[in-house]
Chains A and B, each alone.
Chain A
Amino acid sequence: MNTITSINALQPIFPEIVLAVGAMALLMLSVFAGERSARFVNTLCILLLIGIGALIVWLPAGRATLFGGSFVIDDFARFLKLLTLAGSAGTLILSLDYLTKEKLQKAEYGVLVLLATLGMMVLISANDLIALYLGLELMSLPLYVIAASNRDNARSTEAGLKYFVLGALSSGMLLYGASLIYGFTGTVNFAGIAKVAQGGANLGLIFGIVFLFAGFCFKISAVPFHMWTPDVYEGAPTPVTAFFAAAPKVAGIAIFVRATIVAFPGVTHSWQQIVVFVAIASMALGAFAAIGQKNIKRLMAYSSIGHMGFALVGLAAGTAEGVQGVLVYMAIYVGMTLGTFACILAMRRDGVAVESISDLAGLSRTKPAMAFMFAMLLFSLAGVPPLAGFFGKFYVFLAAVNAGLFTLAVLGVLSSVVGAFYYLAIVKVMYFDQPAPAFQRMPALVGLMLAVFGTLNIVFFLYPSPLVGAATAAAKSLF
């Protein structure tokens, strides 16, 4: 155990400290400045998140641990933290105008997003079971609150309550699993668990892993713990849904990957079958259940379930190549999600937000630029080359094939073909149906986000090496 002798010893955790202090300072500012400062405080929250991202890049690279090995920073953590910060900042930018229009603009919204992001960063850097659980709770609690933030709307409060009750249940299962793992290995540290479990798992440890995975699957909404997703995504205010779809999934996948790769390398065969099952079930459910959806937020919920299945294909491989695939997939997924939700947030007619797929009818004639970007994002979500989404799927399937998981790869490709059907159905509605009345002008910030992520999505294939290279380095740091 290293003792902390000077402030410099805390350097690896500076980003988290700055974020925590910043969130509390902004909370105080909003209390004293009153309700009218809400938009200003939320803007400061965005700047703080961007600043933290810069700080993470600026701090020296390499691997470091703190607090007796509870906190670890390596290339893997750095990559995913930047991704999480991008997801949080992006959704806050998207939400500014929406919240003002819906009279939901509250400074606490930004502060809660900051604290949730802090929880995600703790989770990504967690190197033992206690830090894992605390990070998970710090991430989840603000999410329950902001899901219910439109408190005069019955569906929003229902979403918050449902998410809270099921989230508490999943936390309980995760804790039960963690206590079993501690009981059967005698340590909470991931490396220590790996050392004890080297010779193969006993029954108690396998039970623990199963319960731990149940908690993870709930947080990333993978089948069979996905039930909450469609209702929560539909009920929560749209920018909150965008946030749920982007940042917490990155953190959830991050801890899923770190825990399995670092703590259970000796029992790969035990967890691999669980991950394979969860991946196949999520991909299939995401593909089939989305077909009948009429509400675009509900459709995005099923789409996100499917995408988590694809990301887990890379984890199932259990190799550095597989982890690299997961990282590339998550980065592209966050970009596509932010772009798609920018389009959904622009669906506003006569001052009212609409969210039915039929409202998009004939968008190609009323708003050709938005329709083009939206169509490209949908093609990308479906995995059509040469758009970004294709590369994400390519890397995870390649890793699965190289690890000998042929059935998994074939089933994945088949379910992505089924999934393409409902994405293309939206494109058909936009391009070939009778035009519905035009949407309002989209706010400048939403337009900017759509332009940025839409363009990145299209031109990614020209220059993929920075992202892929960073993901390779990040994946290597785990092995």
Chain B
Amino acid sequence: MNAVAVFFYLFACVLVASAFMVIASKNPVHSVLYLILAFVNAAGLFVMMGAEFLAMILIVVYVGAVAVLFLFVVMMLDVDFAELKQGVLQYLPIGMVIGGIFLAEILLVVGTWAIAPATKGAITAPIPAGVTNTEAIGLVLYTKYVYFFQISGLILLVAMIGAIVLTLRHKERVKRQSIADQVARTPAMAMKVVKVKTGQGLGSNEISSKDAGSAA
């Protein structure tokens, strides 16, 4: 057994095991951490296939951004997952039966499945020789595929507009920061010298007028 095979089985086994733990672990935070482990192992598999760009993107985007976002959401929402899992045992038998039927169907289909011989000759976008795949993507992304790139950009714009339209609320009576007002403040506007008579303290009128002065 050579080193490539050893690493393949290492990554593959850890990937499958951690993917299983994502759905099996009781604590949702552990689930997300197992998900990150699964992503990292998948990235390892990509590197072994020679797709180093996909591997790095998987780490940067999924591990770096998506999984961390998951963690935040899981921690902030405080979902009671134990409650969600109630009734799993009750539906387990029927779920297993349906799963078994699907599995049998898939096996039947895959058993008779033959990849068309014409397919190999028809592939129109082979990987160019002598170019790393990062370079290959860079060569076509903004030239040949500029149309797709621009439409993807518009889709992201729609997502932004949608998120803002559906969630932004202008609340009344919320004190907002006004940088222009803050910068324009002078000592004369902000401070007020009050003569306090001994034993009488500050009257409420003077305090409120001082507040008004600082707000402006």
Contacts and interface: CB of A to CB of B under 8 A. Distances in A.
Interface in B134-150: 144-148, 150
A118 interface: yes
B144 A67 contact: yes
Interface in A187-217: 187, 189, 192, 195-196, 199, 202-205, 207
B155 A141 contact: yes
Interface stretch (A43-51, A88-96, A130-138, A268-276): A130-138
B165 interface: yes
B204 interface: no
A70 B143 CA distance: 13
Contact of B124 (A27, A137, A142, A187): A187
A184 B115 CA distance: 7
Contacts of B152: 134
B165 A106 contact: yes
B122 interface: yes
A112 interface: yes
Interface string A398-430: 000000000000000000000000000000000
A464 interface: no
B147 A186 contact: no
Interface residues of B, number: 32
Given A186-B124, A204-B116, A137 B155 contact: yes
A145 interface: yes
B131 to A, nearest CB: 17
Contacts of B115: 184, 202, 204
Contacts of B113: 203-204
Interface residues of A, number: 45
Contacts of B161: 27, 108, 111-112, 115, 142, 145
Chain A CB within 10 A, most for which of B114, B120, B152, B165: B165
A137 B152 CA distance: 9
B191 interface: no
Given A185-B122, A192-B122, A202 B116 contact: yes
Contact of A141 (B109, B125, B158): B158
Contacts of A207: 109
Contacts of A122: 151
A375 interface: no
B112 interface: yes
B157 interface: yes
Contacts of A138: 151, 154-155, 158
B118 interface: yes
Contacts of B150: 20
User: What does DSSP make chain B's interface, helix, strand, loop or mixed?
Assistant: helix
A218 interface: no
A144 interface: yes
B49 interface: no
A196 B145 CA distance: 23
A469 interface: no
B122 A144 contact: no
B206 to A, nearest CB: 39
A160 to B, nearest CB: 8
Contacts of B145: 67
Contacts of B205: none
B165 A130 contact: no
A187 B123 contact: yes
A354 interface: no
Contacts of A70: 147-148
Interface string B7-45: 000000000000000000000000000000000000000
Contacts of B194: none
A27 B115 CA distance: 49
B162 A184 contact: no
B2 interface: no
A83 interface: no
A1 interface: yes
B208 interface: no
Given A108-B161, A185-B122, A187-B122, A135 B151 contact: yes
Nearest to B123: A186
B129 interface: no
A71 interface: yes
Contact of B165 (A145, A189, A204): A145
Contacts of A368: none
Contacts of B186: none
Interface string B151-181: 1101101110110111000000000000000
B209 interface: no
Contact of A186 (B120, B146, B164, B166): B120
Nearest to B109: A203
A134 B120 CA distance: 26
Nearest to B164: A108
20 contacts: A24-B157, A67-B144, A67-B145, A70-B148, A108-B164, A112-B162, A115-B154, A115-B157, A131-B147, A131-B148, A137-B155, A141-B162, A145-B162, A148-B166, A149-B165, A184-B116, A184-B119, A186-B119, A202-B114, A203-B114
Interface of A: 1, 20, 24, 27, 66-68, 70-71, 106, 108, 111-112, 115, 118, 122, 130-131, 134-135, 137-138, 141-142, 144-145, 148-149, 151, 160, 183-187, 189, 192, 195-196, 199, 202-205, 207
Given A134-B151, A134-B152, A145-B166, 19 more contacts: A27-B161, A71-B147, A112-B165, A122-B151, A130-B148, A131-B147, A141-B158, A141-B159, A141-B162, A145-B161, A184-B119, A186-B121, A195-B122, A196-B118, A196-B122, A199-B118, A202-B116, A203-B109, A204-B115
